C-alpha cells in the first residue's frame, strides 16, 4: 500500500529539507521531509490561506487542523502572539517537524497535539479553525472535517478553508453552506478558493 502524508507513522526514509519563506511580512525558516505534505516549499494554497486570514472578533484559541510541518499555525501564531494556536495532525513525522519549526522560529504560543481530526481535542472549542484539508483522503473525510469543525467552533467562531476548484471547491462550498447557513469566497487565485464560514 502506498504511503500518504496523512499516514500515522511514515516509513519512508527521512530526507529533511530546510528553506526560508516570508509570510505575513515576517521571515520564517521551515524544515519539511519525505512523507509530509509539501516537502520543498510552503505550498501555494497554504500561502494564500495564511495571507488572507483575519483574526476573529471573539476571544479564544485558533486551531490549525492538519498542520503538517506547521507553516499555517506558526505564521498565524507569529501574527497574533496573544492567541494560543493549537496545531494537530495524525502524521507523527509532521508533528515532530511542527514542534521543531515552532521552536526554530521562536514562536512560543503554539501547542502541537497528535489527533486524528478532532479525536485528541475532546471538549475543546475554538475561535477560528484553519485547514488545508487532505484532499487525497477523499471527500467523505474532508466533509467530516467540516462537520466536526462546526461542532468545535465557539459561537461566532470562523472556519477558514483553502481548496482547489478542480479538487472539490464547489462541493465543499455546498457542504459548508448546508452546515453553517453561510459561506463566503474570500479570495480566488490560480484555481484555489479561500472559503470562510461564520458559526452564528
How big is the CA angle at 70 (ends 199 and 64), to the nearest 5 degrees?
Answer: 10
Main-chain dihedrals φ then ψ at residue 47, nearest 5 degrees = -60, -40
Higher-pLDDT residue of 9 and 117 is 117
Residue in the block written with cell 508533528: 95
pLDDT digits (tens, 9 = 90+) for 153-190: 999 999 999 999 999 999 999 999 999 999 999 999 99
Which cell goes with 129?
479553525
The pLDDT score that the predictor gives to residue 37 is 72
Does residue 92 carry a pLDDT above 50?
yes
pLDDT at 64 over 70: yes
Nearest Cα neighbor of 27 from 88, 110, 112, 106 is: 106
Averaged pLDDT score across all residues of the chain:
91
List domains and CATH numbers for the chain. Answer: 17-198 (3.40.50.150)
- Of 106, 110, 44, the C-alpha closest to 76 is 110
Average pLDDT over residues 114-127: 92
Query: Residue 91 corresponds to which cell in the numbers above?
Result: 502524521
- pTM over 0.85? The answer is yes
Sign of CA dihedral 148, 100, 102, 167: negative
Neighbours of 188 (CB within 10 A): 12
pLDDT for res 1? 30
Residue 12 confidence (pLDDT):
61
- In whole angstroms, give the CA distance from residue 100 to residue 95: 9
46: helix, strand or coil:
helix
Nearest to residue 139, comparing CAs of 110, 168, 166, 170?
A: 168
Q: Which of 137, 125, 86 is nearest to 107 (CA)?
A: 86
Distance CA 185, CA 188 (A): 7
80 φ, ψ to 5°? -125, 75
Amino acid at each position: 500500500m502506498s504511503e500518504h502524508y496523512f499516514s500515522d507513522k511514515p516509513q519512508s526514509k527521512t530526507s529533511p529539507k530546510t528553506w526560508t519563506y516570508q509570510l505575513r511580512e515576517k521571515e520564517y525558516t521551515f524544515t519539511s521531509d519525505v512523507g509530509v505534505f509539501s516537502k520543498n516549499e510552503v505550498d501555494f494554497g497554504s500561502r494564500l490561506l495564511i495571507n488572507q486570514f483575519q483574526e476573529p472578533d471573539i476571544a479564544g484559541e485558533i486551531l490549525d487542523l492538519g498542520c503538517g510541518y506547521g507553516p499555517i499555525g506558526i505564521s498565524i501564531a507569529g501574527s497574533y502572539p496573544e492567541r494560543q494556536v493549537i496545531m494537530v495532525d495524525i502524521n507523527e513525522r509532521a508533528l515532530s517537524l511542527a514542534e521543531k519549526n515552532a521552536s526554530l522560529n521562536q514562536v512560543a504560543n503554539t501547542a502541537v497535539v497528535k489527533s486524528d481530526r478532532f479525536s485528541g481535542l475532546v471538549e475543546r472549542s475554538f475561535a477560528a479553525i484553519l485547514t488545508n484539508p487532505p484532499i487525497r483522503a477523499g471527500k467523505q473525510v474532508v466533509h467530516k472535517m467540516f462537520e466536526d469543525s462546526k461542532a468545535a467552533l465557539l459561537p461566532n467562531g470562523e472556519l477558514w478553508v483553502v481548496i482547489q476548484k478542480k479538487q472539490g471547491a464547489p462541493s465543499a462550498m455546498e457542504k459548508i453552506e448546508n452546515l453553517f447557513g453561510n459561506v463566503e469566497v474570500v479570495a480566488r487565485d490560480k484555481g484555489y478558493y479561500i472559503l470562510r464560514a461564520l458559526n452564528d
